[in-house]
Amino acid sequence: MMKRSPILAILAVLALVCGILSQYTVEAQDHKKSDTEAAPPALGQDWGKMRDGLNDLFGQLHKDAGIKPSKICDDDTFLRRAYLDLVGRPPLPEEIEDFNPGKKDSQGNKGQAKREALIDTLLAKPDHAEHFADWWTVTMIGRDADGNSRKYLRQYLQGAFAENKPWSQMVYDLVAAEGRTPENPEVGYLMSFQNRKPDMAGITSKVFLGKQIQCAQCHDHPYEDVTTDDFEGMEAFFRMFNTGARGDGANRYWFTKDLPTHNKHEVSNRIRMQGKYMFPTYLGRETWEFEEGKNLRQSLATWMTSPDNAWFRNMTVNRYMAYFLGMGFVTPVDDFNAMNEPSFPVVLEMMGKDFAASGYDTNYLIRAICTSELYQREVDTNRTNRDDYKYYSRSYVKRLTPEQIQRSIMHVVGVQRLNEQTFIRDVPESKMTDDEKKAKKINDQVNGWKSHIAGSMRTAYGADPQFYEFGDFDGSIIQALMMMNADLMGPANLKNTVRDILERKKTSGDRIHEIFMTVLGRRPSKMDLAILTGTFAKWGGDDESAYTDLMVALMNTTEFITNH
C-alpha cells in the first residue's frame, strides 16, 4: 500500500469532510448560497444523512489510501451481529425465519430496507433496554459495586432506555439525582461511591466527558493542562451533598441530601476550597454561578449535558462507535487528551453536533451507525486492508462481554423462557392452594437456575475488564471450565430448549438444524450440517442426552462467545 505524507492525509480528510458536510447545516460556510439554492437539511432531523456521510467519507478515504474494503456481509452474519450488539443474545430460529436471510423478510422488505427494519425491530424490544442497562451499569460503576447500587441504577437505566429518554436527560438525572429509593432509582449511581467525593468527580468526568482527571487529585496532570486546583474545582460540586440509608430489611431505603444554599458566598464558606479557586469550577475553568433554587450538582449536570459541551456529545459518539465497530475515533474510548487526539476529529465533531441536535437521541445514533457500510463489512480481509485499524474497511471479531454471554446462555437454554412463572400470593406456604404450591416450586427452580448461572459467570468473569478490544477472544481456563462443567441446562423436571425441540421436531436432521440455529443464531451451512450429522451419528444415540451434548458442545465454540 502506498505511503502518504501525514500532512497530505490530513488535508485530504479535511477536503473530504468539507464536501460531505454540505449535507448538513454547519456554523461556518465557505460560500454563500444563492436565494434559489435549496438549504441543506437541519442537523438532528435525519439519521440517514449521518449514515450517508460516513459511507461517502470513508469510501473516498479508502480510495485515497489504496484500500479495498471488505465486502458487505451476508444476511445471516448481519442478523446475528445485530442481535448480539443490540439485544445481547443471538436470534432464535423463529426470529431467523422472520428475517428470512437472503430473501424478503416477513414484511416484504429486502436489501438495505430490510436491515433498517431489523434495527428498528431490535430497538423496540424489551431486550434492548435490558442489555444496554447492563452495559451502561458496568461502564458507570463496574461489576464490583454494591449490589443495591447496581440494582437501582440498572432499574433506572432499563426504564429510561425503554422509553428512549434523551441521553442528556438520563445523565442529568444520574448526576443530579434527588429523593430516595425505590421511587428514585437513579440515586443508585451516586450511592455506588459511598460518599467518596473524589471518586464522584473523577469517574463522572471519565465516563461522561472522556476526561481522565483522577491523577490530578494528587498532582498536576503530567501531560494535560489539568491541575490539582482544577480537580478540586470539579470535586467541589459534590461537597455539599451526601447519600445515606435508613430502615432495615425490606424497609431499607437510600436517599440523597443536599445542604441548602442562599448565596454564592455561603457556598464558598461551606465547601472550603484549598486551592486557587473560591467556588466550584467546571473543567475548562469556567466558573460556576449561583442560581436560586439549584444545588451544585444540578448546576454541574446542566453544564455537562448542554448541547454546547463538545466533550459530552463527542464522548458519547465515540463510545458508541467503539462498541459497535470495535474501535472509536479515540482509543481508549474514555481518554481524550492532548496526546490522544481523535483519528478523524472533524468527523467526530460533525457526528457529535448531529447527535446533540437530535435531542441526544441514542436510537438516532444507533440507527446511523448500524445501517452504515462500516458496520456491515465482513471480517474477512484482503492484502490491502488486513492491517487497517483506522479506516473501518473491515469488521473486527470481538469477544462478547460477560453480560452478553450470560444473556445468551439463558436465552439459548430457555429455562426461563419456556417455563411460565406465575405470580404467587405473599402468604405462608401452608395457606397456599395446591396450584400455588406447584407454581411456587417452578418459580423457585427457575430463579435458582438463574442464580446458578449468574454465580458461575461472576466466578469466571468477575475480574475481567468491561470492554474488550477486538481480537481479544481467547478466554481463560476458568471460563472454559465454567462453560464445560456448569449445570447449564437447568433442573431435570423443567422444560429447556432441547426438550422443546425434541417435542416439536421428529427427525434427527431437523433437530440438529434447530439446535444449531438456536445456539449460534444463524442457519448452518452445508458443511456445518455434514460435520454435525456425521459427528452425531458416531455418538451412537438419538436420546435427549445426545442432543444435550450437542447443544453444550456448540455453546463451547469460539463462535458462541464472539460476534462472528
| pLDDT at res. 551 | 92
> Which alpha helices (H) appear in 253-361, and where do they start and end?
264-271, 296-304, 310-325, 345-357
- In 3D space, the residue among 174, 182, 86 whose CA is nearest the CA of residue 130 turns out to be 86
CB 324, CB 375: distance < 8 Å: yes
CB 564, CB 397: distance < 8 Å: yes
Angle, helices 345-357/362-370, rounded to nearest 10 degrees: 130
What is the residue type of 110?
Answer: K
- Domains of the chain, by residue range, sit at 1-72+311-396, 74-124, 128-304, 402-561
| pLDDT at res. 411 | 94
| pLDDT at res. 242 | 96
R_g (Cα) of the chain, nearest Å: 26
In the three-class reduction of DSSP (H, G, I as helix; E, B as strand; rest coil), residue 256 is classed as: strand
Q: Phi and psi for 56 in degrees, rounded to 5?
A: -65, -45
Query: What is the number of alpha carbons within 13 Å of residue 489 lying toward its C-beta?
Result: 19
CA distance 228 to 225: 10
CA distance 121 to 108: 14
Which grid coordinates belong to 91? 436470534
In the three-class reduction of DSSP (H, G, I as helix; E, B as strand; rest coil), residue 506 is classed as: coil
CA distance 324 to 82: 9
| pLDDT at res. 248 | 92
- In 3D space, the residue among 157, 152, 120 whose CA is nearest the CA of residue 135 turns out to be 157
pTM of the model: 0.90
Specify whether the backbone of 245 is left (phi greater than 0), alpha (psi in -120 to 50) or beta: beta
CA distance 30 to 26: 10
Q: Phi and psi for 367 in degrees, rounded to 5?
A: -60, -40
Q: Phi and psi for 410 in degrees, rounded to 5?
A: -65, -40
Averaged in consecutive runs of 10 residues, what is the pLDDT profile of the chain (564 residues)? 43 48 40 47 89 96 96 97 97 97 95 98 97 96 91 98 98 97 97 96 96 75 75 93 93 94 90 88 91 94 96 97 95 88 94 97 98 97 95 93 92 92 80 84 89 83 51 58 75 93 93 95 92 82 87 91 85
CA distance 279 to 288: 7
